[in-house]
Amino acid sequence: MQTRDFLKLAGLTIAQRILPAPLLAFWQQAAGAAAAGRKVIIVTFGGGVRKAETFSPEGLRNIPRLAALRPSGYFYRNCLNEGVLSHFNSTASIVTGNWQRVDDFGFEAPGSATLFEQYRKSLKAGPLDAWVIATNKSFAAMGASGAREYGLPFGANVVLPKQLLLEAINDIVKKPAAGDLSDRGAVQQRLETILQEGYEGVGWTIFKGGRQMDKHVRTTLTRAMGEFINGPEAPTSGDELTFFITREVMREFAPRLLLVNFWDMDVAHWGSYSLYLQAITKTDRLTGMLWDEVRENPKYKDNTTVLILPELGRDGDVNTANGFLNHRSGDASCRNTWLLALGAGVTKGATDTPIRHVDVAATAASILGIRAEGMAGSPAKEILV
């Protein structure tokens, strides 16, 4: 089983439940025909990161790839999160264009239509043309909202790579031997190390509600994951797995709209500043590799706009010792981050004029050529060329 076969099965589990096979085939063709249009990739530094450790004179050493890319893009020195300073609500605000106040553990969908739904409904795009790939385990409901006239039939495919690893642990390692894995103990340790890194730990919830893999898919993934985890690109962290799957989705399906959520930086909650810095540098490297894929993939080269931003900051150190641990204070370090736009239609430059998180979806909608409905955000004119 090749890695792309694994991705086909992982990604299609939701789409196959939305549409019957004949219509799914039709949408696959439609998605291919639509690939000639402009594409948008939104990359979030999930978990939160401060300017102090990134785009500040002393922080640039932690982000060598983004620092090198900044002159070739348009840089907003001030990107404001004026909403709830929690992970699900922050990212949901980014993808809906409206400040969200919903359950922050992924058990409640965004309250207003997502960019994915508006894009698919407006342009009649297929289910393979909009994706969410998230290291954060609570993002299962990020692809579709509870808004009337929208919802799952117009939502994005949501892939939680670390949940796939959990399935692999349960099916490959902890059940009686049924395959040809030579060292089951070593495989288990490698898989569980990825699950345990970061603040989340291993207290995983298997999300159902149409997202639970059926028996055939799960059996096939069992075989595929065994080969994948022992392959030359075997990941050592959740974000590395997220990058790998994102790249395969881009190569296999070439969607026009993609949200990539990196997450390792939330290890800051453990209180280790060095691990926090290491995670920032790792995210910088993976974001750079994702940009390399955009530049080298003929389906994305010259027609893709990439928007990179933290979902939120982290507390400052002025009133809190070791403020990097959390992100609930509401101070400037927590609310005021940055945004870097790269690629098609982006002029070179920088500005102190603030952009808001809710402006991201409105900007992406304009790039994709759709008229967004009910968004509080406004398109960023600087990058709409």
pLDDT higher than threshold 80 for residue 346 = yes
In a domain, 297, yes or no: yes
In a domain, 101, yes or no: yes
pLDDT higher than threshold 50 for residue 262 = yes
In a domain, 190, yes or no: no
Summarised one tens digit per residue, pLDDT across range 106-115 is 789 999 999 9
Q: How far apart are CA 162 and CA 97, in angstroms?
A: 27
Neighbouring residues of 58: CB distance < 8 A, sequence distance ≥ 6 = 52
In a domain, 266, yes or no: yes
Q: What is the pLDDT of residue 187?
A: 55
Q: What is the pLDDT of residue 157?
A: 87
What is the pLDDT confidence band of residue 381, given thresholds at 50, 70 and 90? confident
Number of structural domains found in the chain? 1
User: Which one has a higher pLDDT value, 350 or 166?
Assistant: 350
Q: Are 266 and 200 in contact (CB under 8 A)?
A: yes
Summarised one tens digit per residue, pLDDT across range 239-251 is 888 898 888 889 8
pLDDT higher than threshold 80 for residue 231 = no
Q: What is the pLDDT of residue 32?
A: 39
Cα–Cα distances in angstroms (integers) from residue 34 to residues 183, 188, 270, 362, 375, in the given order:
45, 41, 44, 20, 24
Q: What is the pLDDT of residue 214?
A: 40
pLDDT higher than threshold 70 for residue 230 = no
Q: What is the pLDDT of residue 189?
A: 61
Summarised one tens digit per residue, pLDDT across range 37-78 is 899 999 999 999 999 999 999 999 999 999 999 999 999 999
What is the pLDDT confidence band of residue 270, given thresholds at 50, 70 and 90? confident
Q: What is the pLDDT of residue 167?
A: 61
In a domain, 248, yes or no: yes
Q: How far apart are CA 40 and CA 294, in angstroms?
A: 11
Residue tagged 């003929």 (tokens)? 298
In a domain, 173, yes or no: no
- The CATH number given to whatever domain includes residue 84 is 3.40.720.10
Cα–Cα distances in angstroms (integers) from residue 11 to residues 20, 40, 96, 128, 246, in the given order:
15, 19, 22, 8, 11
What is the pLDDT confidence band of residue 385, given thresholds at 50, 70 and 90? low
Average pLDDT over residues 216-229: 50
Closest CA to 39 of 290, 364, 363: 364
User: Which one has a higher pLDDT value, 105 or 314?
Assistant: 314
Summarised one tens digit per residue, pLDDT across range 2-12 is 545 544 444 44
Q: What is the pLDDT of residue 162?
A: 72
What is the pLDDT confidence band of residue 26, given thresholds at 50, 70 and 90? very low
Q: What is the pLDDT of residue 383?
A: 83
pLDDT higher than threshold 80 for residue 15 = no
Average pLDDT over residues 78-90: 95
Summarised one tens digit per residue, pLDDT across range 195-211 is 555 444 433 333 333 34
- Which phi and psi (to 5°) does residue 47 adopt? 90, -25
Q: What is the mean pLDDT of the chain?
A: 80
In a domain, 328, yes or no: yes
Q: What is the pLDDT of residue 33?
A: 38
Cβ atoms < 10 Å from Cβ of 151: 15
In a domain, 199, yes or no: no
Q: What is the pLDDT of residue 195?
A: 55
What is the pLDDT confidence band of residue 355, given thresholds at 50, 70 and 90? very high
pLDDT higher than threshold 90 for residue 286 = yes
- The secondary structure of the chain, three-state, reads CCHHHHHHHHHHHHHHHHCCHHHHHHHHHHHHHHCCCCEEEEEEECCCCCHHHCCCCCCHHHCHHHHHHHHHCEEEEEEECCCCCCHHHHHHHHHHCCCCCCCCCCCCCCCCCCHHHHHHHHHCCCCCCEEEEECCCCCCCCCCCCCCCCCHHHCCEEECHHHHHHHHHHHHHCCCCCCCCCCHHHHHHHHHHHHHCCCCCCCCCCCCCCCCCCHHHHHHHHHHHHHHHCCCCCCCCHHHHHHHHHHHHHHHHCCCEEEEEECHHHHHHHCCHHHHHHHHHHHHHHHHHHHHHHHHCCCCCCCEEEEEEECCCCCCCCCCCCHHHCCCCCCHHHHEEEEEEEECCCCCEEECCCEEHHHHHHHHHHHHCCCCCCCCCCCCHHHCC
User: Which one has a higher pLDDT value, 176 or 217?
Assistant: 176
Average pLDDT over residues 320-331: 84
Q: Is 215 exposed, middle or buried (0-12, 13-18, 19+ CB in 10 A)?
A: exposed
Summarised one tens digit per residue, pLDDT across range 135-174 is 888 898 999 999 999 999 999 988 887 776 666 556 555 5
Q: What is the pLDDT of residue 53?
A: 97
Range of the domain at 276: 3-160+240-383
